[in-house]
Amino acid sequence: MEAQEEATLDVTIKGVVVFYTFYVVEQLSDDMIIGSDMLQRWKIKLDPENEDVDIDPNVVARIRV
């Protein structure tokens, strides 16, 4: 697997706009794969039981300032 390009994109998750650098790779099984590094940076926690995510309110407050 080799990345052809990279792009910094804004992504809206539960009404919160976050940005991250994504790598463009052909023939992935999904259109977008979000890695643990992005989840950690934005303090996003997965809630698999409810098929949902939680975003730390402190991070949201910092973004909106």
Q: Give per-residue pLDDT as tens, 24-37.
A: 888 888 888 888 99
pLDDT in tens, 8-57: 998 888 888 888 999 988 888 888 888 899 999 888 999 999 999 998 87
In a domain, 51, yes or no: yes
Record the pTM: 0.69
Give me the domain span that covers residue 53.
Answer: 36-65
Q: Which residue has the tokens 């099984």?
A: 29
Task: Give strand ranges (E) for 1-65.
Answer: 5-13, 16-24, 44-47, 52-55
In a domain, 19, yes or no: no
Residue 18, pLDDT score? 85
In a domain, 40, yes or no: yes
Count of domains observed in the chain:
1
CA 57 to chain CA mean position, Å: 16
| pLDDT of 65 above 50 | no
In a domain, 24, yes or no: no
In a domain, 17, yes or no: no
- Distance separating the N- and C-terminal Cα atoms of the chain: 39
In a domain, 53, yes or no: yes
Amino acid at 14: K
Residue 45, pLDDT score? 94
In a domain, 41, yes or no: yes
